[in-house]
Amino acid sequence: MIAYFKDIIGGTWSLLVGLAITINYFFKPVVTFQYPRETLPMTPRYRGHTDLIWDEEKGRDRCIVCGSCQKVCPSGCISLAGEKPEGGKGKVLTMYTLDFTKCSLCGLCVEICPTDALEFSKAYNLAGFDEKAYVFDLLKRLEAKRP
Amino acid sequence: MTIDWELVRLLALLLGVIMFVALNAAYLVWLERKEAGHIQRRIGPKEVGPYGLLQPVADGLKLMTKQLIVPEGADRLLFMAGPILVMVPAIMSFVTIPYSETLVARNLDVGLLAVFAFASVNVLGLLLGAWGSRNKYAVISAARVVSQNVAYEVPMLVVVVTMVMVTGTLNLQEIVTQQAGGFWHWNVFRLGVSPLMPVAFLIFFVCMLAETNRAPFDMAEAESELIAGAFTEYPGMGFGIFFMGEYANIVVGTSLATILFLGGWNSPFGLFFPGVHWFLIKMYALIFVVIWIRWTYPRTTFYALLNLSWKVLIPVSFFNLILTSAMLKVFHS
């Protein structure tokens, strides 16, 4: 008999505790993020497609056209070309295309680059109707980054 | 030609009742989703209209544009009768519910009895609709609904009988008038008549949840086990009317709780003159609690549900009945 009443009172109490928790949550601010309306800054370690880094001192990219990235890429998605400017030393990058449809984001190109000319971009909301839209001209993207 | 003003009044109030039910059914869905959202720290509907206020309109349009399919082998008549039998009694119950001293469609002397008579048809609608749709899930759901409603009608009616003994009338308007003047006159706090009055209110409230098939007693729908239970085969507005009927029944249940226990349209401290606004404040506060409960507790098992009724609610409500009648006999006769 005592157990019966204990059960009722204990049960009622636990129900009230539950209600207290939910009403507490009701008055707390919402934690969801309204994604297409608001965007969060992407985390620093995020791996988007690779991108050339803008070098302030040189006033262009840091690439020396050694071709290491092209060679190391397991998917063969990088193709680049460069030429020697007249009178100048070393090669200058003239073309760098990344076929993102093949890229597996392994990051070997970023790792192997002797001059740290490559980085991962933070582009995460990529969508399109045409695969050609994913053959990126990284030099053109670099121009857009020119301050 | 003379105008029969009583007829005009009746028509206006009936039209008002139907609009009130429809508007409540639509916007309680909005309230439910908003409240559920905030309890789970989300926002809830926000895209359609400001604060998602046009969401019920969009939902209604979507449901209405859908084709009404009667499944093969289903009993067409019963299938169609199901939603109507849930919706119509819910609307009929509103006829006798007094929202203020003057705002009542028809003040019956047996108002309380009429409301419960109509409320008991609800389960019949679910049973016929489920049986008619020729679906195993629906039939299981119907069996559950009937045993649940039988189990919970007993303590609810015992509590109501207690209240009728205390008030001495079945007239809803009269019951509210007796509770005039301050919240300590409300039936829920009339401890001199029965010290168990708040418990009686609690029993009534729990039974109301079970009668309207609300969570944690939503055995009728039980989406995780029975798809949508009795509503499984219903397309478009057939389901929509079941849904509206459910919310209309919640409004009836909370209105009754307000009238029987919380003093109806009387103001708690004599502030802001008694009137329909107090009734609505109390009613919507109770509805808020109903929704709050739904988003707090998971669904009970079927045996726990029946155990709660037969082992706890019914003995306690009978004890309350005996105690109240004894106290009425000794102290108030």
Mutation test of the interface with chain B: which of A16, A32, A35, A37, choosing the one with the most B Cβ atoms within 10 A? A32
- Number of residue pairs across A and B with CB atoms under 8 Å? 37
Contact B317, B197 (CB under 8 A): no
Which pLDDT score, from 0 to 100, does residue A17 have?
Answer: 93
- Contacts with A37 from chain B: Cβ below 8 Å: none
| Cα diameter, chain A | 102
Q: Across-strand partners of A135?
A: A99
Contact B283, B208 (CB under 8 A): no
Which of these, B317, B243, B264, lies nearest to B111 by C-alpha position?
Answer: B264
Cβ-defined contact of B296 to A18 (cutoff 8 Å): yes
Contact B105, B225 (CB under 8 A): no
**What secondary structure does DSSP assign to chain A, as a single string?**
-HHHHHHHHHHHHHHHHHHHHHHHHHHSPP----TTTS-PPPPTT---SEEEPEETTTTEE------HHHHH-TT--EEEEEEPPTT-SS-EEEEEEEETTT-----HHHHH-TT--EEE--------S-GGGGEEEHHHHHHHH--
| The one-letter amino acid at A95 | M
Predicted confidence pLDDT, tens digits, chain A (147 residues): 888 889 888 988 998 999 999 999 989 888 888 888 888 888 888 888 888 888 888 778 888 888 888 889 998 888 888 888 887 777 888 888 888 888 888 889 899 988 888 888 888 888 888 888 888 888 888 887 777
Contact B301, B219 (CB under 8 A): no
* Residues in chain A, overall count: 147
Tokens of A86: 């007249």
Q: How far is B126 from chain A (nearest CA, A)?
A: 29
Chain B interface with A: residues with Cβ < 8 Å:
35, 37-43, 46, 292-293, 295-297, 312
Which of B41, B293, B295 has the CB atom closest to A30's CB atom?
Answer: B41
Which of these, B228, B250, B242, lies nearest to B63 by C-alpha position?
Answer: B242
Q: Which residues have CB under 8 Å from B219's CB, separation 6+?
A: B141, B144, B145, B148, B213, B229, B299, B302, B305
* Distance (Å, whole) CA A50 – CA A120: 4
* Distance (Å, whole) CA A51 – CA A117: 8
Which pLDDT score, from 0 to 100, does residue B86 have?
Answer: 86
B290 to chain A: nearest residue by CA? A19
Which of B35, B43, B297 has the CB atom closest to A18's CB atom?
Answer: B297
- Contacts with A28 from chain B: Cβ below 8 Å: 41
Helix, strand or coil, per DSSP, at residue B140: helix
| Model confidence, pTM | 0.80
Q: How far is A17 from chain B (nearest CA, A)?
A: 10
Cβ-defined contact of B38 to A23 (cutoff 8 Å): no
- A54-55 and A60-61: which strand pairing? antiparallel
| The one-letter amino acid at B55 | Q
Which of B38, B292, B312 has the CB atom closest to A30's CB atom?
Answer: B38
Q: How far is B255 from chain A (nearest CA, A)?
A: 22
Predicted confidence pLDDT, tens digits, chain B (333 residues): 677 887 888 788 888 888 888 888 888 888 998 888 899 888 888 888 888 888 888 888 888 888 888 888 888 888 888 888 888 888 888 888 888 877 777 778 888 888 888 888 888 888 888 888 888 888 888 888 888 888 888 899 999 998 888 888 888 888 888 887 777 778 777 777 778 888 888 899 998 888 888 878 887 777 777 777 778 888 888 888 888 888 888 898 898 898 888 887 877 776 777 778 888 888 999 999 999 998 898 888 888 888 888 888 899 899 999 988 888 888 876
Q: How far is A94 from chain B (nearest CA, A)?
A: 47
Cβ-defined contact of B43 to A31 (cutoff 8 Å): no
Tokens of B322: 């005996």
| ipTM given for this complex | 0.74
Q: Across-strand partners of A118?
A: A52
Cβ-defined contact of B40 to A25 (cutoff 8 Å): yes
- Contacts with B297 from chain A: Cβ below 8 Å: 15, 18
* Distance (Å, whole) CA B241 – CA B90: 11
Please give the distance of CA B322 from its chain centroid, rounded to a whole number: 27
Contact A65, A82 (CB under 8 A): yes
Question: CA B135, B137, B142 angle in degrees (round to 5)?
Answer: 95
| The one-letter amino acid at B36 | A
Distance spanning both ends of chain B, measured CA to CA: 53
B313 to chain A: nearest residue by CA? A8
Which pLDDT score, from 0 to 100, does residue B233 have?
Answer: 82
B294 to chain A: nearest residue by CA? A19
Cβ-defined contact of A30 to B35 (cutoff 8 Å): no
On the question of a cis peptide bond just before residue B216, with omega within 30 degrees of 0, the verdict is: yes
- Contacts with A27 from chain B: Cβ below 8 Å: 38
The ranges assigned to domains in chain B are 68-331
Chain A interface with B: residues with Cβ < 8 Å:
8, 15, 18-19, 21-23, 25-32, 34
Which of these, A20, A6, A18, lies nearest to B215 by C-alpha position?
Answer: A18
* Distance (Å, whole) CA B245 – CA B125: 10
Helix, strand or coil, per DSSP, at residue B100: coil
* Distance (Å, whole) CA A96 – CA A119: 14
The secondary structure of residue A59, as a DSSP letter, is T
Which pLDDT score, from 0 to 100, does residue B333 have?
Answer: 67
Please give the distance of CA A144 from its chain centroid, rounded to a whole number: 18
* Distance (Å, whole) CA B125 – CA B303: 24
